[in-house]
Amino acid sequence: MGGFSLFSCSCATAQVEQPGEPPGETPSTLPSVSNLADLPSFSSKNSFDLNIASELSKSETSEVIFIRERSASRRSRSLRRAEFHCFLAHDWGYDAHGRDNHQRVCALKAAVEANGVSCWIDAEQLDGDLNFQMTQGIEKSAVVCVFITSRYIQKVQGLGECGLDDNCKTEFDYALLRKGVGGLLAVVMEEPLLDTSTWEGVVGAKLGSAMYVDLTGDVDSKKWAHGVKQLVRLVKPRLEALLDDDDVSSSRFSAPSPFNPKLARIPPEVGALPEFVLERKDVYAALKTKVLHESHTLVTSSRLPHPVAYKPSTVATGLGGVGKTTLALSIVNDTDIRAKFEKICWVSLGHEPNIPILQGILYRQLTGQTMPDEGLRDVHIASELLQTAANSVTTLLVLDDVWDAKHLAPLNFLSDRQATSRSALLVTSRMRSILPKAAEVECGTLSNESSLKLLLELGGQGHLLDNPPAAALEAVELCKKLPLALGVAGGLISELPDTWEDDLIPLLREMAQGTDGVSVHQMVDAALAILPDNVRLSIEHLFILFAVFPEDAIVNVQTVDVLAPILPGMREKDTHSLRLHVRQAAKHLVRINLLRGSVGSGLQVHDLVRECMIERAEKVGAFQGEGGELLEGGLVALQRRVLDTLLQTASADVNAIEWCSPFLRWHMKQATSPGKAHKDELAMRALTHADSTIRCEAASGMGFEVIYAEAKECVKMGERMAAAQLMYALMGTTHPMTGRVAKEAWEVLQSMEETAKTRELETAVLSSLLVMLNSEHAMGSPQFQRYVQRLEQLSQLQHDASSGMEPLIAAFVKGFLDFMGKEGIAAYITEPTVETVDTSLTIVESLHSTLVSISGCSSLKTEKALCLSYRNMISTFMPRHHTAARFDPDALLGVRGAVLLEAMALYDFTAMNTTLKSMVFQTNWFMSGVPGLSLLLFWGDLSGLQTAYAQALRSHQAVLKMCLDNSDSAERYSYESYCSLACICEALLLVDDRCRLGTLLNESLLGQAAKDEKTLQAISKIFEGPFGTWRTESGYRHGSMQSLSYVLRGLVALAEPNTEESRAALVKWLPAPVELTRIAVYDCAFRGHSFGSSHPSLICARLYGEILGYWDTTLQVINSVLEVESHNALLRTEAYRLAGTAYDMIGSRKAAYNAAQNALKEAARARYAWLEMLAIREMLRYCDAQDSVSIRSQLAAVEERISATKQEVQACLGDLDDP
């Protein structure tokens, strides 16, 4: 913290900006990097021109000078100058089938260019500097198509013959850095790789869950032609959207951000568009015009007179199967529509919609948050909350497949006053006049021309359109020109490519049997009947299996993988063969139009086709014959078999829970009877499952009120164990009464005769009750102490009787709560002393021993990683025990942090997050980056910090994406967000890397919370429940949302450019010194956790001096921090270091030197080698010339303890500042 601060990325061009002068070109947002697969080393001074630095040192101004990277939006600039549609990234070798991969890619290039898609390929463009040309090709392309082969996957991992210097690796890494995952499109070239779970390394990590194009067929095959068509459809609109932002109509189905960040996001509840979308110009124009509120005359089959007056509501009506949902899908994918609205909300209702769940989905689509508690209790309140949330947002609300007008009112949140905001409602329904005041667009049957085009194109016979055969004309009539029936008929043609003209019509005539046409049910029967004999039964079985999923569900193929073993003949297959079979069968069903979507993006069923599935399932049952034959039993029997399989899989493989849980609540509802769960062995297996996610989904499926009522009835009947088990299942739900239910469950267990089984359940109940946010007790209260004492007793009893994991977990929870009490975080008792700090260290040592024992009881990778993360958290996140005389970081965390390095090597967000969020305190500590802070403080390990930062960033990016996609909620990550401020953000401040700090803020909930009140409230949930609600009569408390907001705003202020505008904004919110003093004294969490530079009082004090120049105010606040806190060495060290900067800035070098000396003493007593080095470097800056030699000797001694090399330290901190 010297006289001026310098920060930039090593790859950036610096910009100099001085307060008081007009700002130069500055980015409008914080730096954004979507992927940091190969992070450059930490650096804040080595990347700017030394001549600039020299000039800066000569500057006469006493103001603080900042250097800011100019390329915060490099990726968007790269996209803006795109010249090609796609860069073709591929391996030149032979694929697994012996085919020349480069020749196949060149053939693809010729095919797509014939369809207007321009390509960059290294066969033509490489000349001179290969790396330069390659990177330019990526820069100039809107999309990077990655051609997936086994060799390519190996080469990208650096495992090919060229090792890390492989061109495939170079271009893949660069493409990720510049385009992000969203700018890459996977193209699969080998049949076995259609199973994306086989993609290893970074290719699988980044692209394994994304949509792909199937080009596994030979160049002259129909599969190849289909893949070419799909690639053109996906890629072509992207460049057009970039080249002409004003003419978005030219690219109706362009991809979402980052290619056009102005477009509204499409929610995940919106299904995929079919492979072939038929242009229905009149009907589509009518719908689009009404949704956009345009008033010019239309040529359409709409039933309204023209010209059209503005109406905020539009209903697309028509028979089942006429394509209403497909039209609605086209509307929300239209870039004109997405550019018009800020938000798109979509839910599908069906016959029996669950209104509260649909209201919750809409609320998350609108706000990114879960529905507030009061909305969960009352649908009318939920409707009001939806209307309030939508008032300031221009929204397109789509209610698909509405069957009853009464379902519209609680879901239609667009009030009359929103007409001026130009929001719009689009409803699809078979019922006319379902919304009386709405404009109606009749979606009738197709014209002859359109029907023929749909039939023949889907049948692969598009070349016959100019002179259609008689068979096609008659087929159109027999299908009644309904798109759904024609689609299935097209699938029939594709199955009979050589004989369809002879075979199709007799088949359709036979089914029609003298009626005016063929029904959808008959078409489905025919489509399954004409399948080849060798695959028909297995495909039909998979078709029936889809009957178990809810209406309008989008089903991931991995979920189908889990259930496939219940199908006849599948039990004997190995995992790879089973997955391949599932994908082949699913693709076959998609090809004959009995399923929609794709294996890559999710599979969906039309409700008319689903009726056929259910009809067959009612006859088939659960596939449970001894020889694999089909047995009768009905859909309920099949649902019970599905539920049983999901529970077995979840018990056997914790990593499979993600694919077991999506529709578990639906399966539970369909497979069980209300009020009879305690008598149903299968239901109780679900409700008492070891995994909290499974328990929660099962309980939600049966319904909170239903299970609670049954539990109460069980108490009356004396079946108290069943009652307690049912209540325990409810404790994992989001219902606002879970805290009360948990208390009742404990009281029921207390009333029972004590057995091993009751003790085990009571331990689980208490372990959850103590950390629940709505448990209706404050930490430290008499009731809380009663819970803790009982948990301690149970832990000891179980430890004496068992060597299993449960008593160890109970002991850990109890010990951890004791630790928080001793650290002054659980409740304020008195100021810490040498004795209490030593006691805290004793508890830490005991907790480490317990965690080692827990880890030894498990063979699961995730549980071992969890134990290691808790060892790290208790050792660093609450740091007062670092000042104990016998504290030894090497003893607790391994020599030079070996425990931390092992933990990071195990961690994988995708594989572990769901499980980590369901265990013990339900927190993913890796997100906080606490390993990085530990490695930096104790050992100066910059490489370890870099790894921890990368893991934390990727985790935060994933969580932000889930919250924006409404698949998760911000409040579930309140602990992780808070801890990230004290860990990874603190570490970034200690290396003065504001570039990475800005990136983390911009791509996480932290940055969202800094600018959005609702997100701030969500991540402030940590200040609720037993951890955060306590407050003493004298004013001591855990913390507050307001204090948290000061940290967030302060970090943003440090990361953003220092401009006149930013300084004016800072003055508006920066709290007064007296408020910062109050926070320093009374907010115990910020004092007791690892907040140093990031402490709200210190970060605001820094802004007073560094940005506004009020260094006397800085010193005033620092003094209050130092007066009140005596044992948080991290906080005290950073306070003294900031004081040194302040004194130096006001010209008092002697005082600055003394402050640096005090910082060194504080850092040394906590063994913070990195901070010792920083303090000594600052002493060297402030000292008299004659003292520099001895100080350099001190520095050399400390540097011997630092893991980072001198070159790494110099790159990070710059050259020493001699006096």
Mean pLDDT value of segment 509-520: 76
* Residues 6+ away with beta carbon under 8 Å from 833: none
CB 148 within 8 A of CB 188: yes
Asked if 772 and 739 touch (Cβ cutoff 8 Å), the reply is: yes
Domain 279-442: CATH class, spelled out: alpha beta
Reading the block at residue 206, the tokens are 């980044």
**Is there a contact between 413 and 282 (Cβ–Cβ < 8 Å)?**
no
Q: What is the pLDDT of residues 994-1034, one digit of tens each?
A: 889 998 998 999 998 998 888 898 888 877 765 666 777 77
Is residue 527's pLDDT more than 90? no
346, 270 contact by CB (below 8 A): yes
Task: Give the model confidence (pLDDT) of 282-330 as tens digits.
Answer: 777 777 888 887 543 333 333 333 333 334 788 888 777 777 888 888 8
- pLDDT tens, residue by residue, 1025-1075: 656 667 777 788 888 899 999 999 999 999 988 888 889 999 999 999 999
pLDDT level of residue 3 (50, 70, 90 thresholds): very low
Task: Count CB neighbours of 272 within 10 A.
Answer: 17
Helix (H, G, I), strand (E, B) or coil at 88: strand
Interaxial angle between packed helices 1041-1055 and 1096-1106, expressed in degrees from 0 to 180 and rounded to the nearest 10: 40
What's the rounded Cα separation, in Å, for the pair 945 and 933?
7
**pTM of the prediction?**
0.59
Distance CA 948, CA 960 (A): 18
**Domain residue spans of the chain:** 76-216, 279-442, 450-530, 534-653, 654-770+781-788, 834-996+1005-1021, 1041-1213
What is the DSSP annotation of 147-186?
A: EE-HHHHHHHTT-STTGGG-HHHHHHHHHHHHH-GGGEEE
More confident: 780 or 1182:
1182
Q: Among 3.20.20.70, 1.25.40.10, 3.40.50.300, 2.30.30.280, name the CATH number for the domain at 1041-1213.
A: 1.25.40.10
User: What confidence category does residue 259 fall into, taking pLDDT thresholds of 50, 70 and 90?
Assistant: very low
Mean pLDDT computed over 201-228: 82
Q: Same CATH fold, 1041-1213 and 279-442?
A: no
Specify the pLDDT at position 886: 93
Q: What pLDDT score does 19 carry? A: 34
Residues 6+ apart with CB under 8 A from 911: 655, 862
Mean pLDDT (whole number) for 585-593: 86
Total length of the chain: 1219
d(CA 525, CA 542): 14
Higher pLDDT, 856 or 20: 856
- Cα–Cα distance between 1126 and 117 in angstroms, integer? 67
Using pLDDT thresholds of 50, 70 and 90, give the confidence band for residue 884.
Answer: very high
| pLDDT (0 to 100) of residue 624 | 53
Instruction: Report the CATH superfamily, name and number, of domain 76-216.
Output: Toll/interleukin-1 receptor homology (TIR) domain (3.40.50.10140)
pLDDT bin (cut points 50, 70, 90) of residue 1109 is very high
